[in-house]
Structure 1
Amino acid sequence: MKRTAYLSLVTVFFLLLVAFAGCIEGSFVKTETVLVKLDSQENIQWISVIQNPDYATATALAPRYYRFIQTLDNGFFVAGYYSNKSGYTTLRVFRTDSNGNPLWDQKPADTGMGGEIRSIFPWDDGGYSILGRDGLVFTIDSSGRPLGATNIMDSICRTNGTVCYDLTPVSLKQDPEGSLNWILTNGNFSTSKITLITATVARNGTLLTKESLPLKDPEGVTDIIRTDDNGLLFGKEYIDYSPGGTGYEILIEKTDASLAISWDAVLGTCNTKTSFCNNNLIGMHESGDGYDIIYQSHLQHSNESVPADTISARLDSQGHIVRQDKISDLSGIPAWIFSEDGSRTDFIDLIPKNVLDSAANAHGGNNPTFGSISLIRTADGGYALLGTRYYWS
């Protein structure tokens, strides 16, 4: 389910999820955070099991609540919302060395409720900015001590007479100077009265610039990136209702600087006459004289564990499809996916089964459940994955 096109359904789903989480949190005896380092051939180099003291759910049921990055000394920095046994949620950050051994563990903010970590940006002085999808920016020093918190949404809504209805970040990049470039949607999707806001934000969350643009056709929008010609590239959820239609496909639209549509293209490799398909956009990237698109495709099925095919597509500058290739292992995932959107949970089907089995059982027992798995590329050409083990009562 995409985050913008069907807002009311997402809201209902979230409420049901919260209710369900409340019912099962008490069933966990404990949780552990598991960090696994793989080489470039996807062989395990080491597995580190990090205890979650005083944390009951450790982002259970919300696998994208935490993010992690590799540090300059080849260690790892993790930020996430962790809940204690009473259900109270805290922002937790911890740092490891290059072998996954914890160096320090801090709780810079007691939030009372969790959110989704959008991205982590390191500073040259060893500090970090932690950005939530709700617009909160937490800044901490190199040891995890808090330096302040800013709500970007509040800053945007207080300037230039902006009235915020449902301000939602859809794209985020860091420029060479260290500022953060956001693209957000603002408005009421039920009435299609939507504006697009581009904002430049300092690393501590201070708003530097802002521009509001009309969004003429917001239906189904899930991803937006600014292109080098000052236009926009839209990724939309597109439903093919025609006779013999294949279901959910992906519509890519390119605009010029005036926001007029230059071209569009439809992507989707799951095609069948007997069942509808899901084609879900993962990311978009401008590269050279064209655009790279990563998406996932699978048959609609009542069993949500049906494996998804991960597809790498290339469009030329005029929107023509140059190729669509299935990614068969981790080496096929492009680096830009991780550099532009942090650690990802989308690629579990590409992680070797022996790696997941080892992570689920290393240094532990009692058959824990291993989930909430996130993945990054590492500086040596290998990979690291982070997950949570749940021990049930």
Structure 2
Amino acid sequence: MTMQSDLLYSETEDELRSAVRSLLSDRCEAAQVLARAESGQPHDLDLWKTLAGDMGLAGLLVPEPLGGQGASAREAAVVLEELGRFVAPVPYLTSAVIATETLLGCGTPEADELVGALASGGSIGVLALPLSTAPTASYGLVQEADGRLTGRVGAVADAAVADVLLVPTSSGLHAVDTAADGVRVTAQIPFDLTRPLAEVTLESAPGRLLTADAAAAVRRGLGAGAGLLASEQLGVADWCLTETVAYLKTRTQFNRPVGSFQSLKHRLAELWLTTVHARAAARNAADALATGSEEAELAGALAQAYCSPVAVRAAEEALQLHGGIGMTWEHPVHLYLKRAKADAIALGTAGAHHETVATLVDLQAP
């Protein structure tokens, strides 16, 4: 009989959350994030250095023999919840999760050396695919000839601060240094200002072959990214719910707190319920990844199918229920709406994940 996993947070996970939240409360306030977004340089690399290097969070998913912390996806999920709660402009999802898991899927000395550099926080790695690429999607944007790579890939998240690009081709997965000749990274205008996108252009750029089986490694990286993105979406939704409830307790109308109105109580209660369900789905996906469950792909697709619309709805409700102040640039709620909307198409839409769930459980539409 299969033992049911305990999805409650462990004492270690609670301590990790407390440490991350304390740091972000001090270093990642909404006003600071807004100021960075306006400056055109949204990435907070000082904060990333603290998170990745000093706290060792970039190596949570990396085994200790390779220079990591030897933790699991459950701990990484807790970090992503907090990063979502603060819409932190750091490349954790792209480097510490997607790129790291892709490298771990290679199983070669070349990939192991590179994953150690990412785990230490000394290097930032990015998978050179559009952020919208789902784990089951096909790709063929870059061609390889005699160790030289040529092609163009748009909407690559966090490529502007990457030190190394992981480039999949028909011949395998290659590592390309962004400082190498023939590599050009051009910033694009993103919807979510806290997760910048860029176009990567390779013109006969030198690459190092990491593995000949790019498909398996990339699918592992994108699958882990999709499963753990649900935790970031949970953090976004939870912040929106918490802040909205607090605001409606203080805002008055007709000498009564707005939150006492029956219609708003119903909206908040429904939002709370969907957020609780989203937490269960996100925790289940993280636990399935952590335990190496055979149902990890199903759990990740299910979490994405559910958590994506929940985060969007929570942000939309927060915007509306904050009234006029919520529509201003100075109030941070628009950052959460943009993150939720961008996350809704990242690593596959909810519809695409619904199709994956249907395929995995053999419940295809007629």
TM-score, normalization by structure 2:
0.29
Q: Which has the higher helix share?
A: 2
- Structure having the higher strand fraction is 1
Higher relative contact order (CA 8 A, sep 6+): 2
